[in-house]
Amino acid sequence: MSYKVTEEGNISTVHLDGEIDMDVTEKAKEIIMPLIEAKKEVHLNLKEVQYMDSSGISVLIESHQKATELGTKVILKEISKSVLKVIMMAKLEQILNLD
């Protein structure tokens, strides 16, 4: 997994690239959580994520819940087909903020 973070005002956009599994979830959290803790609105661009498993979904849930707790939000952008399928399999399409 690789990533790029861009900032515009109070919005931080994290572009994730590659496969997100148990082996990279800690790295993903290290990137995303500090932005949420800084009360940024976080946009996760998932266009280039070709694979995500239950560990990756857990990162999305944890990020969403932390953001809600701190009064900000995480929005999932340009979700790839394969990631959307897993989100729907987990029945999270009504819970997470999908754009």
Cα separation, 92 vs 52, whole angstroms: 14
Left if phi > 0, otherwise alpha if psi is -120 to 50, otherwise beta: which for 47? alpha
Q: Which is nearer to another protein, 11 or 88 (CB)?
A: 88
Does 48 help bind another protein (rule: CB under 8 A)?
no
Among 5, 38, 70, 89, interactor with another protein by CB under 8 A? 89
45 within 8 A of 15, measured Cβ to Cβ:
yes
Among 27, 62, 72, 78, interactor with another protein by CB under 8 A? 62
Residue 28 CB, shortest distance to another protein, in Å, is 12
